[in-house]
C-alpha cells in the first residue's frame, strides 16, 4: 500500500495533517497521526498550503515543440502555411519528446490532467503513463494527409486501452467541423456512446467557421454538431466563441462542457467569449484549457486564470464579473468533474490530487485571500510540490528527469523544423 503523510500544511487557513492511502485522501485532522515506518512524509512546517491542482481541458501537448515558431499570425494562415506543413514531419519520437516537455511544464505549474488532441496519440499515452499524470487522449479524425498515421495510432489505442492505468482515458476527437467529414462526426458520436469514451472537438473558434457552416449546412456550428449527435454530457467543446443565445441554451441542455481558452483566443484575435450572456452561460459547464503552446504560448493555468478574469471584466466594464473564486473553480473542480474524476477538492475519500504552494513567496504575501492571490498575483513559481493519484510528481520544484526531458525536447525541435 502507498502511504503518504502531509504534515503541518495549511488547508483553508488552518494547519492540518493529511494522510493518503494508495491514491485517495484517507484522513484530514489537526491531531498528530500515527505514521507507519514505510510511509513517505512531507513536513510543510506551516509554510505550504494544500490546494486542488489544475485540470487542463483542452491542449495539444506535443505542440510545446512549436512554442514561438510561428507567432503573430491569423489562425488560418498560421494553420495552413506553418503548423500543418511542419506537422507532416512529425515522427513518434519527436512527438514523444514534445509531450514530455509539455507535461513537465504542466507539472511545474500545478496541472495534473490534460485533455489532448493531436497526432501520435500512442506517444501521448506513453509519456503520461511514465510521468504519472492523468490524461484524456484523443482518437483523432481529420481529413488530411497525416490521417493514415493517425489511424494506425487509433487502432493501437482501441486495441490496448484496457491495459492503460486508471489515469488514462480516451476520447473520440474529430478536429473541427471544417476538417472532419460529417460521417466522421456521426461515427465518432456513435462510437463514443458504445465504448463509453469522451468526445473532444474545436467549436465555433472563428467568424469564418461560423459563416461557412451557415452557408454549407444552413445552421450554426453548435446546432450542426447536435444534428450529428456530438453534443452530449461527455463532450468537450474547445473555444466556443461564436455562439448564439440559442446555441448556449442548447449546449446547456445537452450538458456539454465548454473549454474556454482565453489566451489563445486573444493571441490569434479569433474573437471573444460571450461574457455578455452570463445568465445563459451560468447554466453551462465551463472549464479552462490552455490550447497548445504554439498558440498560447504556455500551458500554465495561472496565466489562463488571470487573463480570463481580467478579460471578462474589461469587456463587460464590470469589475465584479468573473470573480476569482469562479475562475479558480473552472480551473480545478469543474475540470475534474468534466472528466468524471472524483477529484478537484481536498476531502477525505477523494482522489489524492493536490499541489502545495509556498506561502512565503512574495506574490502570496501579505495573504489576505489565497484564492485571489493565486488568480491575480501568482505564477508557477509558487508551486512547491505536486501530487497526482497519491504519487509525488514534483517536490521542492524538482521533477525527476527534467534535465533530460529539456535536452531531448531541444534536439527534437531542431529535427522538426530543420527544413523550414
Summarised one tens digit per residue, pLDDT across range 222-240 is 999 999 999 999 999 999 9
Q: Please indicate, yes or no, whether residues 73 and 39 belong to a single structural domain of this protein.
A: no
Q: What does the chain come to in residues? A: 420
- Residue 147's CATH number: 3.20.20.140
User: What pLDDT score was predicted for residue 150?
Assistant: 65
pLDDT tens profile 6-65 = 999 999 999 999 999 999 999 999 999 999 999 999 999 999 999 999 999 999 999 999
Considering the domain architecture, whether residues 20 and 93 belong to the same structural domain is answered as no
Kindly state the average pLDDT of the residues 361-378.
98
Band of pLDDT at residue 152, cut at 50, 70 and 90: confident
The secondary structure of 112-128 as a DSSP string is EEEEE--S-HHHHHHHH
3-class SS of residue 9:
strand
User: Nine-digit cell at 213?
Assistant: 457552416
Virtual torsion, Cα 359, 360, 366, 371, nearest 10 deg? -20
- Is the pLDDT higher at 141 or at 315? 315
41 and 170 co-located in one domain: no
Terminal CA-to-CA distance of the chain, rounded, Å? 51
pLDDT given for residue 400 in this prediction: 97
**Coil, strand or helix: which one is 214?**
helix
Contact at 8 Å (CB) between 131 and 168? no
Average pLDDT of the chain, as a whole number: 95
| pLDDT greater than 90 at residue 144 | no
- Omega cis (within 30) before 45: no
At residue 368, the 3 state secondary structure works out as coil
- Per-residue pLDDT tens for 239-265? 999 999 999 999 999 999 999 999 999
Same structural domain for residues 140 and 9?
A: no
Residue 299 in any domain: the answer is: yes
What CATH number does residue 29 fall under? 2.30.40.10
In this predicted structure, which of 58-67, 85-94, 116-125, 407-416 has the lowest mean pLDDT?
85-94
Q: What is the pLDDT of residue 145?
A: 44
Contact status, residue 191 vs residue 230, Cβ threshold 8 Å: no
Residues 3-18: tens digit of each pLDDT: 999 999 999 999 999 9
Residue 414 belongs to some domain of the structure? no
Predicted TM-score (pTM) above 0.75: yes
Q: Are 134 and 101 in contact (CB under 8 A)?
A: no
CB contact at 8 A, 73 and 82: yes
Element (H, E) at 49: strand 48-51
pLDDT (0 to 100) of residue 99: 98
One-character DSSP codes across 157-184? HHHHGGGS-TTEEEEEEE--TTTS-HHH
Total domains in the chain come to 2
| Inside any domain, residue 417 | no
- Give all strands of the β-sheet with 134-141 in edge-to-edge order: 54-59, 111-116, 134-141, 168-174, 198-203, 235-239, 257-260, 285-288
pLDDT surpasses 60 at 317: yes
Reduced to 3 states, what is the DSSP secondary structure of residue 329?
A: helix
Q: Predicted confidence band at 279 (pLDDT cuts at 50, 70, 90)?
A: confident
What pLDDT is recorded for position 388? Answer: 98
For residue 420, is it within any domain? no
Task: Let me know whether 188 and 279 are in one domain.
Answer: yes
Amino acid at each position: 500500500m502507498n502511504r503518504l503523510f502531509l504534515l503541518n500544511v495549511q488547508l483553508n487557513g488552518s494547519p492540518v495533517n493529511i494522510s493518503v492511502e494508495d491514491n485517495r485522501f484517507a484522513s484530514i485532522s489537526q491531531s498528530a497521526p500515527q505514521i507507519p515506518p514505510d510511509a513517505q512524509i512531507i513536513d510543510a512546517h506551516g509554510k505550504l498550503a494544500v490546494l486542488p491542482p489544475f485540470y487542463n481541458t483542452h491542449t495539444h501537448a506535443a505542440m510545446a515543440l512549436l512554442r514561438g515558431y510561428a507567432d503573430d499570425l491569423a489562425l488560418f494562415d498560421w494553420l495552413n502555411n506553418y503548423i500543418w506543413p511542419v506537422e507532416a514531419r512529425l515522427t513518434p519520437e519527436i512527438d514523444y519528446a514534445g509531450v514530455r516537455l509539455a507535461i513537465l511544464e504542466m507539472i511545474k505549474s500545478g496541472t495534473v490532467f490534460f485533455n489532448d488532441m493531436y497526432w501520435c496519440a500512442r506517444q501521448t499515452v506513453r509519456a503520461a503513463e511514465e510521468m504519472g499524470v492523468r490524461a484524456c487522449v484523443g482518437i483523432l479524425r481529420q481529413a488530411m494527409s497525416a490521417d493514415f498515421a493517425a489511424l494506425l495510432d487509433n487502432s493501437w489505442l482501441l486495441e490496448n486501452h484496457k491495459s492503460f492505468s486508471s489515469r488514462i482515458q480516451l476520447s473520440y476527437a474529430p478536429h473541427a467541423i471544417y476538417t472532419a467529414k460529417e460521417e466522421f462526426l456521426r461515427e465518432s458520436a456513435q462510437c463514443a456512446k458504445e465504448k463509453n469514451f469522451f468526445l473532444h472537438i474545436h467549436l465555433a473558434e472563428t467568424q469564418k467557421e461560423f459563416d461557412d457552416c451557415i452557408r454549407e449546412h444552413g445552421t450554426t456550428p453548435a446546432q450542426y454538431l447536435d444534428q450529428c449527435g456530438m453534443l452530449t454530457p461527455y463532450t468537450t467543446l474547445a473555444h466556443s466563441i461564436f455562439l448564439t443565445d440559442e446555441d448556449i441554451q442548447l449546449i446547456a441542455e445537452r450538458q456539454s462542457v465548454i473549454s474556454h481558452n482565453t489566451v489563445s483566443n486573444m493571441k490569434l484575435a479569433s474573437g471573444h467569449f460571450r461574457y455578455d450572456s452570463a445568465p445563459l452561460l451560468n447554466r453551462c459547464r465551463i472549464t479552462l484549457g490552455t490550447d497548445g503552446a504554439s498558440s498560447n504560448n504556455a500551458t500554465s493555468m495561472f496565466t489562463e486564470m488571470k487573463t480570463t478574469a481580467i478579460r471578462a471584466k474589461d469587456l463587460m466594464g464590470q469589475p465584479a464579473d468573473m470573480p476569482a473564486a469562479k475562475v479558480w473553480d473552472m480551473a480545478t473542480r469543474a475540470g475534474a468533474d468534466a472528466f468524471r474524476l472524483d477529484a478537484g477538492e481536498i476531502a477525505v475519500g477523494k482522489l489524492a490530487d493536490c499541489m502545495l504552494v509556498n506561502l512565503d513567496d512574495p506574490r502570496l504575501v501579505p495573504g489576505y485571500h489565497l484564492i485571489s492571490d493565486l488568480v491575480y498575483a501568482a505564477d508557477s513559481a509558487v508551486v512547491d510540490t505536486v501530487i497526482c493519484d497519491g504519487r509525488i510528481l514534483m517536490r521542492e520544484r524538482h521533477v525527476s528527469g527534467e534535465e533530460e526531458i529539456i535536452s531531448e525536447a531541444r534536439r527534437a525541435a531542431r529535427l522538426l523544423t530543420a527544413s523550414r
